[in-house]
Amino acid sequence: RSAYQPIIINENGREIAYVGHHTGSLLNPLTGVVEPNGTSIVDVTDPAKPKYLAHIPGSSEGGEEAGGAQMVRVCSGSVLPHGVRGKWYLLRPLGSQAQEIYDVTDPAHPSRLTVIVDALTGTHKSWWECDTGIAYLVANKRSEGWMGGNHMKIYDLSDPSKPKYIRDFGLLGQQPNATSHEGLAPAIGIHGPVSAGVEKNRVYAAYGTGANGVIQILDRKKLLTAFENPLRPTTEEMLAPQVGYIIMSPDQGAHTTFPVYGVPIPEFQGHTALRKRDLLIVPSESSRGDRCSPGPGGDRPGPHLAFLLDISAENAPWPISTFRVPETPGDFCGKGGRFGTHSSTESFYAPYYGKVAIFSWFNAGTRVFDIRDPFAVQEIAYFIPAPNKNTMAFCPDGVSHAEGDPKITPACKKVIQTNNVELDDRGLIYSADRAGTGLHILRLTGHAKDAVAAK
Interval 399-439: pLDDT, tens: 888 888 888 998 899 999 999 999 999 999 999 999 999 99
pLDDT band at 19 (very low <50, low <70, confident <90, very high): very high
Residue type, 161: S
Q: Is the pLDDT score of 33 beyond 70?
A: yes
**Under 8 Å CB-to-CB from 450, ≥6 apart: which residues?**
none
What average pLDDT does this structure show over 4-24? 96
Q: Is the pLDDT score of 66 beyond 80?
A: no
pLDDT score for 157: 98
pLDDT score for 356: 97
pLDDT score for 454: 86
pLDDT band at 65 (very low <50, low <70, confident <90, very high): low
Helices and strands, number each (H, E), in the chain: 4, 33
| Chain mean pLDDT for the chain | 95
Which is more confidently placed, 258 or 302?
258
Q: What is the pLDDT of residues 331-381, one digit of tens each?
A: 999 888 899 999 999 999 999 999 999 999 999 999 999 999 999 999 999
Phi, psi of 452 (to 5 degrees): -70, -35
Q: What is the pLDDT of residues 321-343, one digit of tens each?
A: 999 999 999 999 988 889 999 99
pLDDT band at 295 (very low <50, low <70, confident <90, very high): confident
pLDDT score for 455: 78
| pLDDT over 90 percentage in the chain | 87
Q: Is the pLDDT score of 63 beyond 70?
A: no
Q: Is the pLDDT score of 230 beyond 90?
A: yes
What average pLDDT does this structure show over 97-105? 98
